[in-house]
Structure 1
């Protein structure tokens, strides 16, 4: 089989097509969500940290990165910026001086309560191209795909 024929076959492979479509959809949606968050005076990482602290309460800095998929060095920088804005405070652990906790301040909570409804509306608008049933089906399929990919990465370690 020549290379040109092999390329055409790969190009028509639904696995490759799924990857490309999924990547493009994610980028398009992410760009719109990021633009919406920027309009509200934050970047996506700051918003993610505030949302985590708002919903889950005080968190060790070391765990925040894992929960919002950010490198630990970046977390310190983001928490510094949020602390300067008055949205987050830090507290040393009483039992282990190596652990520092971050928590959302009243000002941070007020900000999130103010901007989240509009942000939620924007996400609803962005995803309005699917019916409620299609959204649920897509969620289930993407969870299945993600779980399978996670299993593969664990097997390959």
Structure 2
């Protein structure tokens, strides 16, 4: 193996380690912020998705918030017990059930979402706007490349 290949392998390993550690640190801070709300990260992700996008078919929520569709029923059940979410039958297709925020769910998100975005701003304040844009583009490029391998 030539020197250039060795360097590229070493840098690839270092990038993986640095990226993994950065994600773990960021995730820990975000989870701490969410736990203060009395929710777990999965519950918050579902609430935030519906808050941002409106009523959603329950079957589609899992793929959009990146967790197993098998656990979506449990999460929806938990949010229903907390009176933050309700199930609504789809008027056009009786086989489809939508998840919708309750009044209490909307009030909670109206209150906590601005605070959550402030926390994210603080977490990512180690980068300026241009650096954030650059990182976003580079990570998208890397993610699409890995996905297509």
Give the alignment's TM-score, normalised by structure 2. 0.90
Measure how far apart 1:99 and its partner are: 2.1
Larger radius of gyration: 1
Pairing partner for 1:144 from 141, 144, 149 = 141
Q: Which runs of 5+ in 1 are unaligned?
A: 2-8, 153-157
For residues 30-67 of structure 1, the C-alpha deviation after alignment (integer angstroms, 9 at most, x for no partner) is: 01101100011111111110111111111111100000
Q: Which runs of 5+ in 2 are unaligned?
A: none
Measure how far apart 1:98 and its partner are: 3.1
Q: How many residues align?
A: 145
Separation in 1, partners of 2:128, 2:90: 47
Separation in 2, partners of 1:141, 1:10: 20
Separation in 1, partners of 2:60, 2:9: 42
Question: 1:45-60, aligned counterparts within 5 Å?
Answer: 45-60=42-57
**Structure 2 match to 1:73:** 70
For residues 91-146 of structure 1, the C-alpha deviation after alignment (integer angstroms, 9 at most, x for no partner) is: 22344443221111121111011011111111111111111111111111111111
Measure how far apart 1:12 and its partner are: 6.5
1:107 maps onto 2:121 in alignment: no
Separation in 1, partners of 2:124, 2:117: 11
Question: 1:1-20, aligned counterparts within 5 Å?
Answer: 9=6, 13-20=10-17
Measure how far apart 1:86 and its partner are: 1.0
